[in-house]
Amino acid sequence: MNKVRIGMIGSGYIGRCHAIAYAQAPTVFALKGEIVREMLAEVNPELAARQAATFGFTRSTGDWRALVSDPAIDVVDICAPNFLHKEMALEAIRHGKHVYSEKPLSLSVADAQEMVAAAEAAGVKTLVGFNYMKNPTSQLAKEIIARGEIGDVVHFYGTHNEDYLARPETPLDWHCQKALAGLGALGDLAAHIVNMAHYLVGDIAEVSGDMMTVITSRPDPKEPARQLPVENEDQASALLRFHNGAHGVIETSRIACGAKMGLTYVVTGTKGTLRYTQERMAELELYLHDDPAGRQGFKTILTGPAHPDYANFCVSAGHGIGFNDQKTVEIRDLINGIAAGDRMWPDFAEGLQVQKVLEAIAYSAEQRRWIEV
Amino acid sequence: MNKVRIGMIGSGYIGRCHAIAYAQAPTVFALKGEIVREMLAEVNPELAARQAATFGFTRSTGDWRALVSDPAIDVVDICAPNFLHKEMALEAIRHGKHVYSEKPLSLSVADAQEMVAAAEAAGVKTLVGFNYMKNPTSQLAKEIIARGEIGDVVHFYGTHNEDYLARPETPLDWHCQKALAGLGALGDLAAHIVNMAHYLVGDIAEVSGDMMTVITSRPDPKEPARQLPVENEDQASALLRFHNGAHGVIETSRIACGAKMGLTYVVTGTKGTLRYTQERMAELELYLHDDPAGRQGFKTILTGPAHPDYANFCVSAGHGIGFNDQKTVEIRDLINGIAAGDRMWPDFAEGLQVQKVLEAIAYSAEQRRWIEV
Amino acid sequence: MNKVRIGMIGSGYIGRCHAIAYAQAPTVFALKGEIVREMLAEVNPELAARQAATFGFTRSTGDWRALVSDPAIDVVDICAPNFLHKEMALEAIRHGKHVYSEKPLSLSVADAQEMVAAAEAAGVKTLVGFNYMKNPTSQLAKEIIARGEIGDVVHFYGTHNEDYLARPETPLDWHCQKALAGLGALGDLAAHIVNMAHYLVGDIAEVSGDMMTVITSRPDPKEPARQLPVENEDQASALLRFHNGAHGVIETSRIACGAKMGLTYVVTGTKGTLRYTQERMAELELYLHDDPAGRQGFKTILTGPAHPDYANFCVSAGHGIGFNDQKTVEIRDLINGIAAGDRMWPDFAEGLQVQKVLEAIAYSAEQRRWIEV
Amino acid sequence: MNKVRIGMIGSGYIGRCHAIAYAQAPTVFALKGEIVREMLAEVNPELAARQAATFGFTRSTGDWRALVSDPAIDVVDICAPNFLHKEMALEAIRHGKHVYSEKPLSLSVADAQEMVAAAEAAGVKTLVGFNYMKNPTSQLAKEIIARGEIGDVVHFYGTHNEDYLARPETPLDWHCQKALAGLGALGDLAAHIVNMAHYLVGDIAEVSGDMMTVITSRPDPKEPARQLPVENEDQASALLRFHNGAHGVIETSRIACGAKMGLTYVVTGTKGTLRYTQERMAELELYLHDDPAGRQGFKTILTGPAHPDYANFCVSAGHGIGFNDQKTVEIRDLINGIAAGDRMWPDFAEGLQVQKVLEAIAYSAEQRRWIEV
């Protein structure tokens, strides 16, 4: 079986999740390639060595450029801060590596276009870490829609809300700085729900957006008595029109008190409706309008072995799946894509498409009019 | 105690609810005036007589003009189809009657303005039947917001979705005709959620709306093989900016499969969040961000005697309240307003304000730009 | 139409609910008899007069014996404290009155037997106020079971938990005294769930019970520094065997923190399951095991006009019903039973049957063995 | 770091889960020993070899006796059918191996006693796979109880219901045969909820049980036209008395339509209540009776990094945990127990204690009286 040698850059929050997924994926799935945790890069050699040991990587480096140019690496897995995605990806592509990048793909459409073009020119494969669409439950939603069980989709409402910046006294960090994060809640969170809308409904044609920075300054982390300006939006909303004619709304916030993992969607069709919240990631609510009179209602389906990919984790329904399990499905797609040519999606082109929507929303909010994506 | 003599026009769906509320109100509340169910008008004398008997009215008439001009009537209660609200109200006002009208107040802003002006000129009192805000649970939401328990409101998401026209084979009725209904889902349903937004958050300053007629024609009720055009929107969405700076979104649909009484809201503040769905009308979910670490979460409060008006129905918490109980609170406000000068709200001015928002959404959808209310 | 002249004894908590139901019933239902709120008795003439005025009764008295012997009374409605039910009912029956008594029917099986025998001998009709089974939602549950939609019932789990005595510092009241209340939580609360079990599944043949007085003494209401003994159980549980072979468990508590209206049931059949909680009294959850693979789940049915009695309150589904609406259905059964001979159930015989089960549980708990009912 | 060399017997349903947990544990936790997946035994060498490759074990064997006697094995992990647990464990202990066994520990109390005695005599460490108590959410429940946040526990209601045998046409399998399974639903499912009751509340002193075989015969898997008798119970219930004075009820069923992972509990204390269902394994509902009037209610806590062990999987709250994550916590306890002497619990002594309760319930059901454990 072909080896797929991974070079992972970054080992923080999401890097840890990737590492867990690499560890369990070969046991969960009959992969078409062998995962080799070859090298881990961090900001200095000591941290890199420590994290490589923790996460089961053979080699480590304090210089990500050494990783992307290493001949024994097949895939560069970018878990570094967002503002570095572009540079790292381009450099990896230049060395002929396949690239697996966390979302958002880049800080701007222009950057994402450059990345897509480079990958295409180099003929390398790409994958973006929109892991929520890999959840068996959202795959079930997709299946139900694709089979026409809820008819034609006429409306989509989606959110990705969290509350990690809800307190005004939380110091300023990179999320709030344009140079490091680009957009605020849109870039950090809404990227997921836009991808989900694409996955479940189709591409978005036009948007009318609005956004707001609620907490306009925050304490300087180094000098708490001093306030620094917040440079991007805390919350945003947008009306959507999809190419297929459906309408919709998406909303996002990083100050939505109480939303811990507030990716939610309601997909309304001509014959039924689906409701979902990521905080109950193993449940999908399905309503079918043709149910008999007096027996209509939303049915709570617990994800189980009758649904995509679930049985690989557990053979009994309702036993639950976790955050890292989604990532494990994503890793499966990565490995099978590279080792055996299976379709890898969402790729950089989708990452770009998401970025276009996000930027259109921000631009629409400034221009205060509808913008074509 | 002063008598408040009611003349009710119309006795269908909502008329029945008014009648039930009139019947129970004096037992539920210590009213400041005595309700006298004086006269009921229907489309013909026979139906009027039958319904008067059913609903406990002393007299009846097949001619609403006789009712509004009858000297023994203090309040004209308009439960007739929407397109008649204006004419009936103006005629009642002309005879010096107080007017209690079902929502929407009128089919257009121009009409509503005429009605407000007439009522003011005549010095009569008015009330509009936005009964959902009378629910003890939504009164509790208002109380929590007013006391600052969730901080300053920064976001409002509200819906009023139903599915009564979800089937394309349902024949065309007055809801779908501009001359009889004016707007579609906006006028019939969203009026409630706009009023709720006003009540909970404050007045809306600007909107960017979109709308869609999904089922563009329906069978002629008299000749089912023939299709007639649907003249107004099945669904609509709008971005909102409130005068106080909060942002928001409202959505409405009459084809939202599975939504039976889909008035819902999420009010996000700087310190907490409220969530509500009318389908669970005796529950309010409250999240407070200052709860201790590890003990945060949405708390489901069951409405009870510690909350406004509930104890009049039942002295134990969690025993439930029903649709008609909201209407009974509304009747209490009507009677106390007229008999004792208590504040009556939402009045025609609020009905007009709601109409302005709805019309601004529709106009915005046509113009495809933000519109000031 | 025949008049049905009501004499109501007691006007506290549940008396108020009766009064509201009498007020709205004629508007809600096309009754077969005319309700006449003839006379109200209270503990003294002043209170009686005041409450009669509030609740719309024509006459009043400070002496319940005057009421039960009054020739202008057809039905005696007993909303007085439990320990008086027997004496009042027997006296009413002696005067040939129909009797409508709140639950529990009596403090003991012996008393209930005497009451049943007296009513039968006198040929009067009886009704006991087990209102929860009148809820359209529980009527729907009954309908689903009766039609065999969930197959044969094999298991019933039911509770009636509340928390009104959860605080040890709450002073002793009549609930805690054997002479006034008989059993504790069993008599006050479990009576409802036993009746519900009878209604939904059938009669109970045998029980094995256990009970516990958690808070063994409480402050004397007149002299708070002094503790008085609690004489009956705070919580109880019992294994059940039904005559039809099904097994079950019921539980009850008056100190179950958080349970505000904790009447709940899960009815498991060979083909499906129903779940219900009174705190969401307009929802029934239905699971059918023959649903297609991958599409199984509990469906939340919102009660609506397709279900028994709902349409009389509101013609749209999901708009909700309240506590007093259940009571209004009960009043409908009372009036139609007396005026037109319709079946009146749960009658005194059922009240006795419930009492037998409760007493068997308490006896079983003392004897620590199974007891036949 | 010390190596902990695992020999796993059996690789079906639960074996797969163990394998996934072994794979991810070193990445999730900073373990005190190194996991070595040394050898896997299956029913024949071919299957063993295939599964060893799939699950990352170095060696394989078709003879479990070769595994338990292999000098390079430190821990024998028994994922074989229940009826083999005893023989395998005793044989492993005889060779001085630590033993990690799936539940139920054995088919009878006598067997379990023999196993406990053997392990104690040999001085080996033991662990039983009651993984549900390893869930961070149930650890949180334990923490809340231990800190006295809900006061003293006065009542426990717990279930472990599933519906895997709900269809009468499902052929007979080992679950239904006494020689292979011992008890039915009690042994297969209730073992978990009894362990959970021990964990959350304390040891059980006495029980009064009842049980029922609903589907008394099933098709012979080899000859479907022929029916074979079901030899053990489909469902069971029991009243409980805990040593600390709390009362309780547990129930179990393998034919409870709709229950996919129906381990649930309600723990009522003198000051508050906890509610949990494993089907929403990342949520705990907490009610505190001392919350202010009008602000009482069950709070839904989403498990997060403030709770035990969660942060090792993901640093953000509400992102979810899955079935195998519980198993991974269990593996952490195994490895740290063996490599560093950390406490390992639930051990064989607890497995025996659980078995005693289950057997007492079954015996009580036969004897129809209370039985001391």
Report pLDDT digits (tens) over C10-56.
999 899 999 999 999 999 999 999 999 999 999 999 999 999 999 99
Per-residue model confidence (pLDDT) at position B1:
73
CB contacts, 8 Å: C22 with chain B: 27
State how far residue D193 is from chain B, nearest Cα, in angstroms: 25
State how far residue C311 is from chain A, nearest Cα, in angstroms: 12
Across residues A86-113, what is the average pLDDT? Answer: 97
Closest residue, chain C, to A317 (C-alpha):
C294
* DSSP class per residue in B306-370: TSTTGGGT-SSTTS---HHHHHHHHHHHHHHHHHH-----S-HHHHHHHHHHHHHHHHHHHHTB-
pLDDT by residue for chain D (373 residues), tens only, comes to 799 999 999 999 899 999 999 999 999 999 999 999 999 999 999 999 999 999 999 999 999 999 999 999 999 999 999 999 999 999 999 999 999 999 999 999 999 999 999 999 999 999 999 999 999 999 999 999 999 999 999 999 999 999 999 999 999 999 999 999 999 999 999 999 999 999 999 999 999 999 999 999 999 999 999 999 999 999 999 999 999 999 999 999 999 999 999 999 999 999 999 999 999 999 999 999 999 999 999 999 999 999 999 999 999 999 999 999 999 999 999 999 999 999 999 999 999 999 999 999 999 999 999 999 9
- How many pairs of residues across C and D have Cβ atoms under 8 Å apart? 114
C284-309 CB burial, b ≥16 within 10 A, e <16: bbbbbbeeeebebbbbbbbbbbbbbb
**Cβ neighbours of residue C222 closer than 8 Å, sequence gap 6 or more:** none
Closest residue, chain D, to B306 (C-alpha):
D294
pLDDT in tens, B118-165: 999 999 999 999 999 999 999 999 999 999 999 999 999 999 999 999
Mutate to test the interface with C, among B254, B284, B314, B332 (most CBs of C within 10 A): B314
CA B252 to mean position of chain CA atoms: 14
Q: Tell me which residue of A48, A31, A47, A30 sits closest to A39, measured CA to CA.
A: A48
Residue C1 has pLDDT above 90, yes or no: no
- Cα A329 from Cα D328, distance rounded (Å): 18
Per-residue model confidence (pLDDT) at position C247:
98
Of C208, C249, C253, which has the smallest distance from its Cβ to D251's Cβ?
Answer: C249
Residue A249 has pLDDT above 80, yes or no: yes
Beta strand B283-288 pairing with B223-229: unpaired
Neighbours of A212 (CB within 10 A): 21
Locus of tokens 């499905």: A329
Per-residue model confidence (pLDDT) at position D1:
74
Of A293, A300, A306, which has the smallest distance from its Cβ to C294's Cβ?
Answer: A306
CB contacts, 8 Å: A238 with chain B: 239
- Cα B260 from Cα A317, distance rounded (Å): 30
Q: Which long-range contacts (CB under 8 A, 24 or more apart) does C176-179 make?
A: C176/C218, C176/C230, C176/C231, C176/C232, C177/C231, C177/C232, C178/C231, C178/C232, C179/C83
CB contacts, 8 Å: B159 with chain C: none
Q: Do A282 and D279 touch (CB under 8 A)?
A: yes
Contact C100, C330 (CB under 8 A): no
CB contacts, 8 Å: C319 with chain B: 260-261, 278, 322-323
Residue A1 has pLDDT above 90, yes or no: no
Q: Rounded mean pLDDT of chain A?
A: 97
**Cβ neighbours of residue C176 closer than 8 Å, sequence gap 6 or more:** C165, C184, C218, C230, C231, C232
Q: Rounded mean pLDDT of chain B?
A: 97
A24-36 CB burial, b ≥16 within 10 A, e <16: bbbbbbebbbebb
Closest residue, chain A, to B150 (C-alpha):
A257
* DSSP class per residue in C287-322: EETTSPTT---EEEEEP-TTSTTGGGT-SSTTS---
Nearest-Å Rg of the Cα atoms of chain A is 21
Q: Rounded mean pLDDT of chain C?
A: 97
State how far residue B357 is from chain A, nearest Cα, in angstroms: 17
Element (H, E) at B249: strand B247-253
- Cα D18 from Cα D6, distance rounded (Å): 11
State how far residue C32 is from chain B, nearest Cα, in angstroms: 12
CB contacts, 8 Å: A265 with chain B: none
For chain D, which residues lie within 8 Å of any Cβ of chain B, measuring from their own Cβ? Answer: 140, 286, 291, 293-302, 304, 306-307, 317
- Cα B52 from Cα B48, distance rounded (Å): 6
**Cβ neighbours of residue C254 closer than 8 Å, sequence gap 6 or more:** C161, C162, C163, C164, C165, C166, C175, C184, C185, C188, C189, C234, C235
State how far residue B212 is from chain C, nearest Cα, in angstroms: 24
Per-residue model confidence (pLDDT) at position A346:
98
Phi and psi, residue B71, nearest 5°: -65, -20
pTM above 0.90, yes or no: yes
Q: Do B294 and D301 touch (CB under 8 A)?
A: yes
Q: Tell me which residue of C163, C360, B317, C230 sits closest to D154, measured CA to CA.
A: C163
**Cβ neighbours of residue B123 closer than 8 Å, sequence gap 6 or more:** none
pLDDT in tens, C187-243: 999 999 999 999 999 999 999 999 999 999 999 999 999 999 999 999 999 999 999
**Cβ neighbours of residue A110 closer than 8 Å, sequence gap 6 or more:** none
Contact A57, A77 (CB under 8 A): no
- Cα B43 from Cα B23, distance rounded (Å): 23
pLDDT in tens, B220-236: 999 999 999 999 999 99
Neighbours of A73 (CB within 10 A): 25
CA B156 to mean position of chain CA atoms: 18
Q: Do A286 and C304 touch (CB under 8 A)?
A: no
ipTM above 0.85 for this complex: yes
Q: Which two tokens stand for residue A199?
A: 């996955």
- 3-state DSSP assignment of residue B101: strand
Burial of D202 (0-12, 13-18, 19+ CB in 10 A): middle
Q: Which two tokens stand for residue A19?
A: 């590492």
CA distances from C145 to C197, C199, C274 (A): 12, 10, 9
Q: Which two tokens stand for residue A308?
A: 């995509």
- Cα B207 from Cα D17, distance rounded (Å): 53
Beta strand B2-9 pairing with B33-41: parallel
pLDDT in tens, C48-95: 999 999 999 999 999 999 999 999 999 999 999 999 999 999 999 999
Mutate to test the interface with C, among D144, D162, D268 (most CBs of C within 10 A): D268
**Cβ neighbours of residue D222 closer than 8 Å, sequence gap 6 or more:** none
Beta strand D3-9 pairing with D34-41: parallel
pLDDT in tens, B18-61: 999 999 999 999 999 999 999 999 999 999 999 999 999 999 99
Across residues A220-244, what is the average pLDDT? Answer: 97
Across residues B298-302, what is the average pLDDT? Answer: 98
Q: Return the CATH architecture of domain C136-280+282-321+345-367.
A: 2-Layer Sandwich (3.30)
pLDDT in tens, C329-348: 999 999 999 999 999 999 99
Cα angle, residue A232 at apex, residues A231 and A234 outer, rounded to 5°: 125
| In chain A, where the domains are located | 2-128, 136-280+282-321+345-367
CATH superfamily of A2-128: NAD(P)-binding Rossmann-like Domain (3.40.50.720)
Q: Using 50, 70 and 90 to split pLDDT, how confident is the model at C302?
A: very high
Q: Using 50, 70 and 90 to split pLDDT, how confident is the model at A55?
A: very high
State how far residue A116 is from chain D, nearest Cα, in angstroms: 30
- Cα A251 from Cα B156, distance rounded (Å): 11
Contact B292, D140 (CB under 8 A): no
Q: Do C20 and B313 touch (CB under 8 A)?
A: yes
D333-352 CB burial, b ≥16 within 10 A, e <16: bbbbbbbeeeebebbbbbbb
Beta strand B235-242 pairing with B204-212: antiparallel
